[in-house]
Amino acid sequence: MKKTALAHANIALVKYWGKRDAALNLPAVGSISMTLEALSTHTSVDFRDDLPGDMLILNGRPAAVKQEQRVGAFLDLFRREAGITAAAEVVSENNFPTGAGLASSASGFAALALAAGAAAGLPLSPTRLSELARRGSGSAARSIYGGFVEMKAGERSDGTDAVAVQLQNAAYWPLAMLILITSEQEKELGSTEGMNRTAQTSPYYPAWIASSVSDLVAMREAIAGKDFQRLGEIAEFSCFKMHGLALSADPAILYWNDLSVTLIHEVRRLRRQGYGAYVTMDAGPQVKVICLPEDAPKLQQQLGQIEGIQRILPTAIGGDARLIND
Amino acid sequence: MKKTALAHANIALVKYWGKRDAALNLPAVGSISMTLEALSTHTSVDFRDDLPGDMLILNGRPAAVKQEQRVGAFLDLFRREAGITAAAEVVSENNFPTGAGLASSASGFAALALAAGAAAGLPLSPTRLSELARRGSGSAARSIYGGFVEMKAGERSDGTDAVAVQLQNAAYWPLAMLILITSEQEKELGSTEGMNRTAQTSPYYPAWIASSVSDLVAMREAIAGKDFQRLGEIAEFSCFKMHGLALSADPAILYWNDLSVTLIHEVRRLRRQGYGAYVTMDAGPQVKVICLPEDAPKLQQQLGQIEGIQRILPTAIGGDARLIND
């Protein structure tokens, strides 16, 4: 039976970088994210006996073989659990640019997990869905939930404790984010490759892992106390620590472009003028600005004056991944 | 008696960042630099009994009080050793922009140490001059020598072993450097303040210090073997590790501007095309490109096409600081 799901992207406020197990995709550090309303993936899965193999249509086009294989291997987890062998037709649409550091794999694998589980007739709890989504992409585990979400690094070797939990739902504290698209090109180095090189070559990697624990504690407290300034400061600290870590790899990993740096300086300048705005960035050149919803329009107006920005996506905090009727 | 000295700037290939003693200006890590022919400071010192206090003329103008005091405190080291009390007239000229991450304090305090020592009639060995220059500015200890110079972190609390030694003179291996001026503005955060914040807040600081030891070993080997590719790779590793360290401070320290990032990417692109070019950067937005002398003109031509560069200073490897006749 064909099932369709919708999941939102998320942006980590306390960053995930590094795996403790590559095969099970277990993170070396926990992370805390904010789910994003405006960025979503809409995915349908149909297990059918008449298909010669899995088929993936991504944003209206047949996907590359490598992507189809990655999705096929992911669907195997569901087929194994449901005891079925049928191939699937998967149709997936992002409403935002793919592969440019906007976490399309997060919303993508969360929506795919939800749709595949339902299509295979499996009664999966959100925790189990989160665990399965993680196998597709580390950050996808967080996109099962809306609001503020913590991904646990876990300790077990089978990964059953490396799952996300919702800290607070979207209604609890309606933060906003401006996503400043500085380039629509695909990033040069994917995050998995970047994480591997960092773990293998950076002298800072152990300190990165050790120091993430106090960031998680501080971020939980900032969310519990709705302390926006503290949330922003911890988010920037974690973000720049992650990018500093990547820079310390050999050879150095630099996800930024010229405009990224202009925008980092501009947000700092706006903050000195009294604006409540904090930067976070992932494995790509886009700059995300965390703000209060009432400040989003004037910040968008200010930042929109910077030359070269491709576009600005404003977004509210988003809700849970969910099954939908087509 | 009035004495005049000339010293060259230097750029660290293995970076210095962090102090083990602030008062004596003792470095927490060793460093290896290349002295630069084209960037120099020309300084005369005249101890005179008819002056009400020390006078500093910097680039043709009376210096700010803070700078005059810093120079006065530095001259006290020489007065104490020579048993004199006379105030000095100091006239100093840089042939390059001051305060924009081009190590004007390195050539400045090296030239000042040499001129002050001679003017005070002190018979100072290069090692002793290097130790004294360090008291003015950590990187000045290296500018006493030409060629490739190693600054030892040392272990003694009095700093007598925190001195520079020449690894090879300029004639041994005539490397070149292109200094790309991306901005002539003074930097926002001086290196001493940046080092202090990093040491106090970065979780990577202990790993930075520990990992510098193997960089020094590898750089000494690359110089001994005249292995240009290895020298460039280690220089970039050390540079990006230093900037990654600064980024991991709280709040993050970012010395780059948009053009810095464009140039980093451009040098990488040129390298993929077969050019021998490696980046190094200090506590400012200027990008320095290490290259072989025969490649300098074509690299200058390629990089000169990037919009926004204020100017390009090409330089050969430079010689020792020296006394000159005015």
| Average pLDDT of the residues in B314-323 | 98
Nearest C-alpha neighbor of A186 from the set A251, A107, A313, A97: A97
- The DSSP 8-state label assigned to residue A142 in this structure reads G
Distances (CA, A) of A216 to A13, A17, A52, A153: 9, 14, 46, 11
pLDDT at A230: 98
Least reliable range by pLDDT among A99-103, B24-28, B111-115, B295-299:
A99-103
pLDDT at B96: 81
d(CA B282, CA B104): 12
> Which residue of A182, A200, A204 to mutate against B (max B Cβ within 10 Å)?
A204
Burial group, residue A126, by CB count within 10 angstroms (0-12, 13-18, 19+)? middle
Answer for the pair A254, B265: CB distance below 8 angstroms, yes or no.
yes
Q: Where are the alpha helices (DSSP H) in chain B?
A: 65-82, 104-119, 126-136, 191-201, 205-224, 228-247, 258-272, 296-303
For the segment B1-32, what is each residue's pLDDT rounded down to a tens digit? Answer: 899 999 999 999 999 999 999 999 999 999 99
- Percent pLDDT > 90 in chain B is 93
> Residue A99 pLDDT > 70, yes or no?
no
Average pLDDT of every residue of chain A: 95
> Which residue of B204, B269, B271 to mutate against A (max A Cβ within 10 Å)?
B204
Q: Mind telling me how many Å the CA of A174 is from chain B's nearest CA?
A: 26
pLDDT at A104: 79
Asked if B95 has any chain A CB less than 8 Å from its own CB, the reply is no
- Residue B239: what are its φ and ψ, rounded to 5°? -60, -50
d(CA B35, CA B172): 13
CB contact under 8 A, B261 and A256: yes
Asked if A155 has any chain B CB less than 8 Å from its own CB, the reply is no
- Residue A13: what are its φ and ψ, rounded to 5°? -90, -35
Least reliable range by pLDDT among A125-134, B178-187, B193-202:
B178-187
| Average pLDDT of the residues in A221-247 | 98
CB contact under 8 A, A251 and B236: yes
Please report, for chain B, the start and end positions of each structural domain, with discontinuous segments joined by +: 2-173, 176-316
Cβ-based neighbours of A15, under 8 Å, separated by 6 or more: A29, A31, A212, A238, A239, A241, A242, A282
Asked if B244 has any chain A CB less than 8 Å from its own CB, the reply is yes
d(CA A120, CA B15): 57
> Residue A250 pLDDT > 90, yes or no?
yes
> Which residue of A15, A205, A248, A268 to mutate against B (max B Cβ within 10 Å)?
A248
> Residue B187 pLDDT > 80, yes or no?
no
pLDDT at A187: 72
> Residue B326 pLDDT > 80, yes or no?
no
Answer for the pair A303, A35: CB distance below 8 angstroms, yes or no.
no
**Secondary structure (3-state) at B257:** coil
Which chain A residue has its CA at the smallest distance from B251's CA? Answer: A237
Q: Does domain A3-173 have CATH number 3.30.230.10?
A: yes
Average pLDDT of every residue of chain B: 95
Burial group, residue B247, by CB count within 10 angstroms (0-12, 13-18, 19+)? buried
Q: Mind telling me how many Å the CA of A251 is from chain B's nearest CA?
A: 7
d(CA B315, CA B326): 24
- Percent pLDDT > 70 in chain A is 98
Fold of A176-316: Alpha-Beta Plaits (3.30.70)
Confidence band, pLDDT 50/70/90 cuts, at residue A103 = low
Identical fold between A3-173 and A176-316: no
CB contact under 8 A, A207 and B207: yes
| Average pLDDT of the residues in A137-142 | 96
Tokens of A293: 């919803």
The single residue listed with the structure tokens 């040392």 is B154
CB contact under 8 A, B261 and A265: no
pLDDT at B302: 97
CB contact under 8 A, B261 and A254: yes
Q: Mind telling me how many Å the CA of B20 is from chain A's nearest CA?
A: 20
Least reliable range by pLDDT among A87-101, A259-273, B31-45, B162-176:
A87-101
For the segment B66-95, what is each residue's pLDDT rounded down to a tens digit? Answer: 999 999 999 999 999 999 999 999 999 999
| Average pLDDT of the residues in B216-235 | 98
Confidence band, pLDDT 50/70/90 cuts, at residue A224 = very high
> Residue B188 pLDDT > 90, yes or no?
no
For the segment B94-142, what is each residue's pLDDT rounded down to a tens digit? Answer: 998 665 556 688 999 999 999 999 999 999 999 999 999 999 999 999 9
Q: Which residues of A touch B243 (CB under 8 A)?
A: 244, 247
pTM for the full predicted model: 0.95
Q: Does domain B2-173 have CATH number 3.40.50.10070?
A: no
CB contact under 8 A, A251 and B244: no
Confidence band, pLDDT 50/70/90 cuts, at residue B61 = very high
